[in-house]
Structure 1
Amino acid sequence: MGSSTKTGGASIFVYHCTHGGARCGMQWYTYVSTGSRNLDWRCDRRGGKTGSSPCPAMDPTRMKALTLCLALAASALPIAARAEGPVVVELYTSQGCSSCPPADAIMHRLARRDDVIGLALHVDYWDYIGWADEYADPAHTLRQQAYARAGGRSMIYTPQMIIQGVEDVVGAREEEVLALIEAHKARPAPVGIAARRVGDDITVTLTPGTGAPGGPYAVQLVRYTPLRHASIRRGELAGREMDYANVVDSWQVVGQWDGRGERRLSLTATGDLPAVVLVQQAGPGPILAAARVD
């Protein structure tokens, strides 16, 4: 089941993957929605039917080869070059997506790691199929669409994980996700970040490193809830009781930085929710630094 949205005159198509194994096909058909004809497709196990073609994102040979390459690349770098900061993993998910629970389970495991900042962004584009995700935010869909445009992709999907702002991977592919995390941990940190929270006040200090891409950089403040529960009564997951880890409540740009010279910022984060400060190249591009301020 899929849909399409338009942003700035360009269509962004959406789909979800059920990638149950090597037999995976991308079905497509056209439908009429609000007077316009859009392309719609889904990825499921029924590959081989008339009108289907292999789903490139699901090809197991490609996934195994990529995982091996990432692991080798990580192991080839010297220990002294490894970044000290955590790796940011964004999961785009939905309570209306039957393919998402395995990725949601992976997010629970990532949320327990000190070397990873896992953030679950619930999207709203599956709400129309029968169940409105209570944690969905249109801003999350817009962020996912921005990543797609920046990467030259014409579609967005769930479950999708974005690692460190640059890697696009099917969210339920845990082996590949873990290999990408290790690869990013092995890279030198392009920006230094120190963040301290006292009550509602956060002090952030940024220092330029080596190998950072050109600015400007957006300094962002993310607030999230570590654990949320949902009793889903309709839609593809009807009858399921779901727990979600690190559900994003807000994602704000709180400052800009050109990357040339030290920058200090004073931020406000009211309430008890944990927070994360990110430095990301505009675009959106790579996430250059991240710090928890729980």
Structure 2
Amino acid sequence: MSNLPQLRTLNNGVEIPELGLGLWQTPESKSANIVYEALKIGYRHFDSAQWYNNEKGVAKGIKRWLKEDPKNNKRKDVFFTSKIKDPDHGYEKTKQTIKNSLEQIKGISYIDLMLIHSPQSNKALRLGTWKALQEAVDEGVIKSIGVSNFAVPHIQEILKWDEMTIKPVINQVEINPWLTRKEIVNFCHKNGIEVEAYSPLTRGKKLNDPILVKIAKKYGKEPAQILIKWSIQKGFIVLPKTTHEERLLANIDVFDFTISDEDIAQMTHDDEYQVFCSWDPTTYRG
């Protein structure tokens, strides 16, 4: 395999690998091993969440890799993300739930990125959560903070808040060629906020799309690899997920080719809005 994910620099100067392993629905029992195996082949970015119930397993996999070769395997080279679950919005609840996450990941010292998982509460609670996250950054237990599934109005709440001392570094949303979310993407990029694409593989629903299959054949790649590369060339940080070790290698082996502008245009359906996940909190207006 040639090349590995490049690093992107966030608006706070922190670097993040442009491709990571999504860990939604990866059971605690499997997460430690899949993370360890991923680290061995070059992954350095792992996306967990309190809702996923696998923070502990992910940390266990990272710790195993760190202990295996302390001279070369460094904590600073691994990027670990978690997310605040919706019922725990608000200042006090968030302070407590951050402590809970830190307890789960004991041994890897800190969280690289903590996101608000979705906007599903209200403005006062969301801003209370942001206040607690800012304090956690000041304390050094979290390095960067951001949001997930936020629409433009939800992000504006934070940016316009007079108590904002730290700007979101990332908005993580479902994105693929049939769900391009141009309004959210343009707003984020205009404000120096990186966009992370989750479910880039459409949960497998579009892997047989005729245009995608044709383009994959042209480049000698699998349709999944073309979708991952589409996200990267569109400027997104991409989070393909798998619980199968044999898929880990294919999903990261996307740095030895470039899709032409013509083929990118052919794949991209800005006029469609196909949500493949079971939710779309960007439409939440509470």
Give TM-score scaled by structure 2 length. 0.25
Q: Which has the larger radius of gyration?
A: 1
Richer in strand (by share): 1
Normalized per residue, the structure richer in helix is: 2
TM-score by length of 1: 0.24
